[in-house]
Amino acid sequence: MDFRSVRLADFQEMDSPFIDTLLHLMSENFQPVRSQRRPAKGQTTIQVKVGSVSVPIYRTQNNGLPRYFVAFYHNGQRVRRSFSDLEEAKKEARNAAQKIMAGFSHANDLSTSDRDVYLNAKACLEKSGLSLLPVVQEYAQCHELLGGGSLLGAIKDYVERNKGVRTGVTVADAAKEFLKAKEADGMSTRYMAQLRSDVNRFAAAFPCPILHIKSHQIDEWLRKLGGAPRTRNSTHTSICTFFSWAKSSSYLPKNEETEAEALSKVKTGDTETEIFTAEQMKTILDAATPEMVPFIVLGAFAGMRAAEIVRIDWSAIDFKRKIVMIRAGQAKTASRRIIPISENLRAWLQPHVGEGLVVKNDEIYRKVTSLARKLEIEWPHNVLRHSYISYRIAKIKNAQEVALEAGNSPTIIFKHYRELATEEQADEWFGIMPK
C-alpha cells in the first residue's frame, strides 16, 4: 500500500502495549532478515538453517561474476555482508543463525501471559502466510508515519475514498484512451493538436499511475515548461480536462477534486489588446489565396473565433437576412448567437459561396499566419477577432450589443476593447472592399 496517498479520517487511539509486548518476544541481539518480497530479477536465495532459524543468502551477478549477500539484524540494526565465495557466505550465515538461536533461547523465558500473546499473534498470521517479525516491523513503521493514528482507520478511509477506482492505470495508457475518446467526440483539428501536445508531454514526464500524481508535482512540471503565464494556463487547462476525463472513467476518485483542478491558475494580469490597421488588413487580403479569404474575413468582419470558423458550413450564412448563425455546438461558449453581415463582409464572401464547410482545409490557420510573416506583418493572438470587436464598439458604441455578437460579456468588451479605435478608423475598417 502506498501510504503517501493516504488521507487520515477519524483516528482511534493506538494500542501501543500490543507492539511493545510483541517486540519483547524477539531477541534483542540478532534477528534474521525475513522479506515477503520476491527476489529481484536475476537474484536467487539460499537458506542456511540452524535449528528453527534460517538465514538467507542472496546470490546475484556483478559484471558476470557471482556475488553472495548475507542479511540479518544485529542489535536492532540491519546487517548486510557481501562475499565472492559461497562457502564463506554460508559460514557467515551459520554463525549468525547460531547467535540468533542463542538469542531466542534467552528470549524464551516468557511469562504465561506473554507466551499466550505470542502464540495468538502467530495463529492470526498463519492463514496469511506472513511472518510475525516483518509484520510487527511494518506495523510500527506505519504507526510512526501516521503520527500515532490508527492504521485500520487510515486503511478504511483509503478504501472508502477509492471505492470503484481502477488502480494501477499509468498516465501513458490513460492519455492514449483520452485522446482517442476526444477524437471520437469530433473535436476540431486545432484543438486536438493542442491536447495531443500538452497531454503527451505530461505523460512522458510522469511514467507512473495517474492515481499517484499530486498537485505540487503538476505545479513543478508547469513551472519547468516556462513560457508566458497565458501559455502555462492553457497547458494547465488541457491537463485539467485530461484529469476530469480520468475521473469520469473511474481512474480517479469520483467524489473528490482532481489534483489538477486543485492547482490554481497563474494570474496573467491585464494584457494589451493588439489589432490590425485597415492598411494591414488590405495588404493581407490582396495577397490571400481564394481558400484563405473566407477564413480571414469571417474573423476580421464578423469577429468569429478560428475554432468557430472551421466548424460552420455555408448554410449558417444567410445573405438574405444578413446574418451568420452560430449554433451552440459550434461556439466556444456553447451558446447560440447571431452576427450581422456587414456590406463589406457580404462582398468578400459571395464569390466563394459553396456547399458544406466554409473552410475545408485543416491547415488554413497555419497558411494564413505564414502569409502574414512573408508580408512582414506580425500576427498577435486572436488579432482578427480583437480587431473586429474594437472597430465594432467604436462604430456603434454599444457594449451590450457587441457582447451579444461576439459571445462575450459587456464587462470584458468595455474593459479590453473600448477606445482602441476611433469611429473614423472603424468606417475605414468596415469599408475595406474587394477590388
Summarised one tens digit per residue, pLDDT across range 278-306 is: 999 999 999 999 999 999 999 999 999 88
pLDDT band for 32, please (50, 70, 90 cuts): very low
28 vs 406: which has the higher pLDDT: 406
pLDDT band at 177 (very low <50, low <70, confident <90, very high): very high
Query: Does residue 423 register a pLDDT over 50?
Result: yes
**What is the overall mean pLDDT for the chain?**
80
The pLDDT, as a whole number, for residue 55 is 83
**Which residue, among 265, 267, 300, has the nearest Cα to 281 in the 3D structure?**
300
Q: Where in the chain is the domain with CATH 1.10.150?
A: 171-248
Predicted confidence (pLDDT) per residue in 347-369, tens digit: 999 999 999 999 988 889 999 99
In the 3-class helix/strand/coil scheme, how is 275-322 assigned residue by residue? CCCHHHHHHHHHHCCCCCHHHHHHHHCCCCCHHHHCCCEHHHEECCCC
pLDDT at residue 275 greater than cutoff 80:
yes
**DSSP-assigned letters across all residues of 135-199:** HHHHHHHHHHHTTT--HHHHHHHHHHHTTT--TT-BHHHHHHHHHHHHHHTT--HHHHHHHHHHH
3-state SS of 5-71 is HCCCCCCCCCCHHHHHHHHHHCCCCEEECCCCCCCCCCCEEEEEEECCEEEEEEEEEECCEEEEEEE
Q: Output the CA–CA distances (angstroms, integers) from residue 385 to 257, 310, 393, in the order listed.
A: 34, 14, 12
CB proximity list for 420: less than 8 A, separation 6 or greater: 273, 275, 390, 394
The pLDDT of residue 149 is above 70: yes
* Average pLDDT, integer, range 79-99: 87
* Entry pTM: 0.45
pLDDT band at 161 (very low <50, low <70, confident <90, very high): low
User: Where in the sequence of the chain do the CATH 1.10.443.10 domains occur?
Assistant: 278-429
Percentage of the chain lying above the pLDDT 90 cut: 34
Contact 252, 246 (CB under 8 A): yes
Residue 104 clears pLDDT 60, i.e. is over it: no
Q: Which CATH class is domain 171-248?
A: mainly alpha
> Does the pLDDT of residue 188 top 60, yes or no?
yes
Find the helix packing angle between 132-145 and 112-126, rounded to 10°.
90
Confidence grade of residue 404 (pLDDT, cut at 50, 70, 90): confident
DSSP state of 209: B
Q: Is the pLDDT of residue 1 over 60?
A: no
Fold of 278-429: hpI Integrase; Chain A (1.10.443)
* pLDDT given at position 412: 72
Q: Is the pLDDT of residue 23 over 50?
A: no
8 Å CB contact between 379 and 369:
yes
